[in-house]
Chain A
Amino acid sequence: MNQILEKSIFEYSRSGRSAQVQQPPGADVASAVEKIPAALRRSKAPMLPEVSELDAVRHFTRLSQLNFSIDTNFYPLGSCTMKYNPKACNQYAMLPEFLARHPLAPDSQGQGFLSCMFELQEMLKEVTGMKAVSLNPMAGAHGEFAGVAMIRAYHRARGDLARNEIIVPEAAHGTNPATATMCGCIVKEIPVDAQGDVDLDALAKAVGPNTAGIMLTNPSTLGVFERKIEQVAKLVHGAGGLLYYDGANLNAILGKVRPGDMGFDVIHMNLHKTFSTPHGGGGPGAGAVGVSARLEPFLPVPIVGREGDQYRWLSEVDRPQSIGRLSAFMGNAGVLLRAYIYMRMLGREGMSRVGEYATLNANYVMARLRQAGFDLAYPERRASHEFIVTMKRQAKELNVTAMDIAKRLLDYGFHAPTTYFPLLVPECLLIEPTETESRETLDAFVVAMATILGEAEADANTLKTAPHTMPVRRLDDVRAAKQLDLTWKPVNSAA
């Protein structure tokens, strides 16, 4: 299969072709180059495409049309919260006063932006029940890193140097063990019981004088609410450890239950999931962190503070115990603005409707799929904002895998759910419809799933060779992983 979908822009390049109108008027490139010391100039011109404006527009428009996106199709990718990103968030974040603000401008000239960030901090505190918030981390994993770094800083500040173990239940988010390891901790994994709750006996055995903390995702990646959270908090706090809340699944409980009230000491929030900023095309993300009172001194800086009616950046001077800075300025400003506008548009009432409808939609699709003959991984449990279908039976009886179903769904115009995650459920599909889908869309998805199950029974080959209608057909995952070939070189290139 060597179908050319869209050529590389370098293949449209013709020497000397350019978009003159986009060059700064009166630019004298030659004399500008002269001003750079010779030792710092490159000896060879970089390989840059030379195309007309129209060539560039067509190239990138065609590329964008190959994309599968939330603006075109239902996207029930579990754990990723692919909800609609309201256009108004984009529109207001693009106001010239925001766009043109220089990050080094004095605080007095950015009071509008600073007030938005201050209010965003306040709203996130309120909705999570935490004492303080920093908006610095630029992605979920970055937020996790900040969170565990704060846990370590807290123990160190108390001279409690032996605490280097992080407990991670097997239903936790996959990034959690990686985060703990990145922060220099040792990961202790504990099992969950048959109902998907943390195994309290295993937890009691795992905690001790070396326990730095536990990382929990609630609802867990099994799509169920951790019912024993209060006992978990008591056990871990009793042993001197802290509780970390992975906000990956915050959408399920938004406006209903607050991590702070469950006893968590630190939380990261994926603003790009729960608070609807664009992601899935590479983001960028925003992984704000919230903390309880005892961790507040360690928050990453800068943080926006308010004094009277003036806002200003709080820095290392104000927070000498801070774990430091995580980005050049303060996180992804444009993303934070979009999240702020989203929250302002929802308001307090709208916030709790997010949790309600996210949960309702997931439970509706779960019930309908069960009627259609699919097996649920946790049939006894109510779904949170997502749930797991297992194709274990079909894999055995029909030789049809979760991946085959996922690929075939693309032909029906739906993005595939998350496949083979969480790892402890065989042949699984993790399905998260989000609150922004209509009942008609959910019904159409269920019909597609039922149709595919029928196809699996009639002629599994239709599924095995899917997708049939996409720009690319079934990819060779193994070859892609083994033969990484990510750079394009011109045919006549010496290298």
Chain B
Amino acid sequence: MSQVLADLRYAKSHEWARSLPDGRIEVGITDHAQHALGDLVFVDVPQVGTALEVGGACAVVESVKAASDVYSPVAGTVVEVNDALSGSPELINEDCYGKGWLYRVQPASSSGLDALLDANAYSAVLAAEGG
């Protein structure tokens, strides 16, 4: 069973979002997603300053099996990206909710995360997918 953290919000397309104390939001892909993809070999993160819409393709994660788009769970402007991923994409496999974060955004509105799934709802999505 994939790990789902209680204090994060989730998108059906298997991204997570975390509210940081300074109001910014950190985004990554879930344990289920990294497991389904397998060993990652390449990650393409958005550039700082990119304006993202909810559900818009914002990053690419490539494993030995497949290349997949990552869809932004929140609207906002990218303020920081995880540069470590370019040399070590395996950080996502090893620690998807920690060192494997993708980017941080300044959200476009303060209610950004409310529309996302909580841990229970996301777990239900995974159960329905048979994951």
The answer to whether A and B belong to the same complex is yes
A interface residue numbers (CB < 8 A to B): 392, 419-421, 423, 426, 477-478, 481-482
New A-B pairs, 16, CB < 8 Å, besides A420-B66, A421-B66: A392-B130, A419-B65, A420-B65, A423-B66, A423-B68, A426-B36, A477-B39, A477-B64, A478-B39, A478-B41, A478-B64, A478-B90, A481-B41, A481-B42, A481-B64, A482-B41
Query: Which of B's residues lie within 8 Å of A, judged by CB?
Result: 36, 39, 41-42, 64-66, 68, 90, 130
Closest Cβ of chain A to B34, distance in Å, is: 13
Q: Which residue of B lies closest to A482 (CB)?
A: B41
Question: Which of B42, B65, B66 is the most central at the interface, judged by chain A CB atoms within 10 Å of its CB?
Answer: B65
CB distance from B84 to the nearest CB of A (A): 15
Give the complex CA separation of A426 and B42 in angstroms.
21
List, in ascending order, chain B residues with CB within 8 A of A482's CB: 41
What is the CB-to-nearest-CB distance from B50 to chain A, in angstroms, rounded to a whole number? 17
Determine the distance from Cα of A392 to Cα of B35 in the docked complex, in whole angstroms.
13
What is the distance, in angstroms, from B32's C-beta to the closest C-beta of chain A? 11
- In the assembled complex, the CB of A422 is this many whole angstroms from the nearest CB of chain B, namely 10
B39 to A: closest C-beta gap in Å? 4
Question: CA of A481 to CA of B90 in the docked complex: distance in angstroms?
Answer: 12
**Given the complex, which residues of A lie within 8 Å of B90, measured CB to CB?**
478
Which B residues are in CB contact (< 8 Å) with A478?
39, 41, 64, 90
* CB-defined contacts of A392 to chain B, threshold 8 Å: 130
Nearest-neighbour CB distance to chain A for B61, whole angstroms, equals 13
Residues of A within 8 A of B64 (CB): 477-478, 481
Instruction: Please indicate which of the listed interface residues B36, B39, B64, B130 has the most CB atoms of chain A within 10 Å of its own CB.
Output: B64
13 pairs from A and B in contact (CB 8 Å cutoff): A392-B130, A419-B65, A420-B65, A420-B66, A421-B66, A423-B68, A426-B36, A477-B39, A477-B64, A478-B39, A481-B41, A481-B42, A482-B41
CB neighbours of B130 from chain A (8 A) = 392
Complex-state Cα separation, A478 to B65, whole angstroms:
10
A391 to chain B, nearest CB (A): 13
The 7 closest A-B pairs by CB, nearest first: A477-B64, A481-B41, A420-B65, A478-B39, A482-B41, A423-B66, A478-B41
Query: In the assembly, what is the distance between CA of A478 and CA of B66, in Å?
Result: 12
Find the A residue at minimum CB distance from B69.
Answer: A189
Chain B: CB-nearest residue to A403: B65
B66 to A: closest C-beta gap in Å? 5
Find chain A residues with CB under 8 A from B68 CB. Answer: 423
Bound together, the chains give a CA A482 to CA B66 distance in angstroms of: 14
B129's nearest neighbour on chain A, judged by CB, is: A426
Nearest CB on B from A78, distance (A): 15
Chain B residues with CB under 8 A of A419: 65
Determine how close the nearest CB of chain B comes to the CB of A186; give it in whole angstroms.
11
> Which residues of B sit under 8 angstroms from A481, Cβ to Cβ?
41-42, 64
A101 to chain B, nearest CB (A): 42
Complex contacts, B36 vs chain A, CB 8 Å: 426
A423 vs B90: C-alpha distance when bound (angstroms): 21
CB distance from A475 to the nearest CB of B (A): 10
- Distance in angstroms from B15 CB to nearest chain A CB is 17
Roughly how many angstroms separate A423 CA and B33 CA in the complex, as a whole number? Answer: 13
Which A residues are in CB contact (< 8 Å) with B42? 481
CA distance A392 to B90 in the complex (A): 24
Question: In the assembled complex, which residues on chain A have CB atoms less than 8 Å from the CB atom of B65?
Answer: 419-420
Nearest CB in chain A to that of B130: its residue: A392
Q: How far is B39's CA from A211's CA once the two chains are assembled, in angstroms?
A: 37
* Chain A residues whose CB sits within 8 angstroms of the CB of B41 once the complex forms: 478, 481-482
Nearest Cβ distance between residue A188 and chain B, in whole angstroms? 12
B127: min CB distance to chain A, Å: 13
In the bound complex, residues from chain B placing their C-beta under 8 Å from that of A477 are: 39, 64
- B64 CB to nearest A CB, Å: 4
CA A421 – CA B64 in complex, angstroms?
A: 12
User: What CA separation (Å) do A423 and B68 show in the bound complex?
Assistant: 9
**Interchain CA distance A477-B66 in the complex, whole Å:** 12
Identify the closest chain A residue to B66 (Cβ): A423
- Find chain B residues with CB under 8 A from A423 CB: 66, 68
A408 to B66, CA, bound (A): 21
Q: For residue A14, give the distance in angstroms from its CB to the closest CB of chain B.
A: 40
Least Cβ distance of B75 to chain A in Å? 19
Distance of A309 Cα from B48 Cα, bound (Å): 65
Residue of B nearest to A422 (CB): B66
Bound complex: CA A481 to CA B36 (Å): 18
Residues of A within 8 A of B39 (CB): 477-478
CA distance A392 to B131 in the complex (A): 9
